[in-house]
Amino acid sequence: MAKGTISMEAGVVALLLFVVGIRFGIKNLAAKIAAPIAGVVLLASQFSHGDVHEYWTIFTGVMSLSIVMFGFYVMIGGLSKRGRSDDSN
């Protein structure tokens, strides 16, 4: 196995733990934020094959894209309270 990669068994165990955690309700905001970041870390480590420079290149690229996509989500009103009724009527 190449340096910086995870085994198939470790990946399956991590995925199963993540799915069980999602299914039975991750209520903590920190856990909801940490889970996708852990996925990006695993993706970058898998594709970099142990090269630190390539790892940080992949990681910063994916995180930059994620920040841009979140910005688009906010700009189109993704955080607005559409479902709440207005009490001013």
Separation CA 86–CA 40 (nearest Å):
39
CA neighbours closer than 13 Å in the CB half-sphere of residue 80: 9
**Cβ(11)–Cβ(38) under 8 Å?**
no
Q: Is residue 87 part of a domain?
A: no
Domain annotation covers residue 62: yes
The pair of structure tokens assigned to 53 is 């420079």
pLDDT confidence band for 85 (50 / 70 / 90): low
Helix, strand, coil % over all residues of the chain, rounded to 5: 65, 0, 35
Residues 25-60: tens digit of each pLDDT: 766 777 777 777 888 888 888 888 878 899 899 889
Q: Does a structural domain hold residue 65?
A: yes
**Total of domains in the chain:** 1
Whether 68 maps to a domain, the answer reads yes
43 falls within a domain: yes
Question: Within a domain: residue 1?
Answer: no
| Mean pLDDT of the chain, nearest integer | 77
* pLDDT score, position 64: 92
Q: 66 lies in which domain range?
A: 8-75
Q: How far apart are CA 78 and CA 83, in angstroms?
A: 12
